Amino acid sequence: MSTTSSPTSTSTSPPTSTSTTPPGAVEVLGRISAALDDLPAHRPVAARVVAEADDQRSDARSLGRTLGYDPALLAKVLRLANSAYFGLSGRVSQPGFAVTVVGFSAVRSLAVSALAGLDDVPESLTGFWDRSVLTAVAAAEFAPRLGCGAPEAFSVGLLARLGQALLVRCDPQEYPRMMARAGDREELLVAEAHRYGATHTRVSAEALAAWAFPEDLAHALSQVDRPGWATPLATCVRLGLELTERITHPSRAPRVAEQLSAGHVRDAELDAVRAGVARTAAELVQLLTS
């Protein structure tokens, strides 16, 4: 996939796959590329929001005006702005102010979720929002420690599983079965790599690049599942994903936080924020899915 200047006019190629990828998997990845080109037509306002959020000439007021043409998306942004997470409960009523409160990154991420059809999550993705928001909140929690912006960490964490939605859409028979068989995230990644030559996180990164997200956000997602060093933003998401797994799969053997973060965060610190992250995420999920 190639980065473009506007999500309303993309020119994409399939996510990177290996030479041994089965022909059927290549077809699925091709469908994903076609879907990325096609989705903006179904939610044109959301596509315009994604484009404006990356336009340096855009400001909160103009982006708020655009949001107003998609009432469902605007409602999500307003609910998020009025959440306890941002500390302004009940005091945000104007779209422009809501954009200022939650930030361009979060608005962009919610617009991409709308483009991908995540307003109505398929049954095979039960728990999608719970896990995505957990990852987002946890990633933002560790952002200051790692020297990156909390809004960006929240946004990338929120979209880390976007590739799952695209794979369900484009491989509706096999991918749900693959998800059901996987005991945890690591098993799912291995199965995805075997079938597609690419993981859902990689598909998420390619989608962000195709929709002209800032390069550092897509790059961070592409590093999340690679071994070794990663950018601070990718490390935040790694920690967010690990904490999410610890919460949703408590019997799973945990991955060592010190290894995931190159020594910046200890296991005890990850577990110390567990209850607070779970509580905050549960509140945000209610707002974003109601």
Rounded CA-CA distance 235/28 in Å is: 29
DSSP letter, residue 228? S
Q: What mean pLDDT is predicted for residues 197-206?
A: 92
Whose tokens are 């020594």? That residue is 263
pLDDT above 70: percentage of residues in the chain: 91
Within a domain: 43: no
Higher-pLDDT residue of 89 and 106 is: 106
134: helix, coil or strand?
helix
**In the chain, what is the straight-line distance between the N-terminal and C-terminal CA atoms, in Å?**
33
DSSP letter, residue 105? H
DSSP letter, residue 256? P
Q: What's the whole-model pTM score?
A: 0.88
Rounded CA-CA distance 46/51 in Å is: 9
Rounded CA-CA distance 170/33 in Å is: 10
Within a domain: 236: yes
pLDDT computed for residue 21 by the predictor = 54
Q: What mean pLDDT is predicted for residues 88-93?
A: 86
> What is the per-residue pLDDT across 135-184, written as a single tens digit (0 to 9) for each?
999 999 999 999 999 999 999 999 999 999 999 988 999 999 999 999 89
Render 117-131 in DSSP notation, one character per residue: TTTS--GGGTTHHHH
Within a domain: 146: yes
Residue 74 · residue 95 · CB < 8 Å: yes
Give the largest CA-CA distance in the chain.
55
Rounded CA-CA distance 150/168 in Å is: 29
> What is the per-residue pLDDT across 210-251, written as a single tens digit (0 to 9) for each?
888 889 999 999 999 998 899 999 999 999 999 999 999 999
- CA distances to 31, 38, 90, 262 from 15, rounded to whole Å, are 11, 16, 42, 28
**In terms of residue numbers, what domain contains 266?**
11-17+123-290
205: helix, coil or strand?
helix
The overall average pLDDT reported for the chain is 88
pLDDT computed for residue 234 by the predictor = 97
For 7-32, letters b (16+ CB in 10 Å) and e give: bbebebebbbbeeebeeebeebbebb
Q: Could you tell me which of 91, 93, 97, 46 has the C-alpha nearest to residue 72?
A: 46
Residue 78 · residue 93 · CB < 8 Å: yes
Question: pLDDT tier at 262 (50, 70, 90 boundaries)?
Answer: very high
Residue 287 · residue 86 · CB < 8 Å: no
With a CB cutoff of 8 Å and minimum separation 6, the contacts of 134 are 240, 243, 244, 247, 248, 277, 278, 281
Residue 77 · residue 107 · CB < 8 Å: yes
On the question of pLDDT at 8 being above 70, the answer is no
Within a domain: 273: yes
Domain total for the chain?
1
On the question of pLDDT at 119 being above 90, the answer is no
Q: What tokens appear for 78 in the block?
A: 């307003």
Within a domain: 36: no
- CA distances to 53, 71, 101 from 92, rounded to whole Å, are 20, 16, 8
Residue 245: CATH number of its domain? 1.10.3210.10
Rounded CA-CA distance 16/256 in Å is: 28
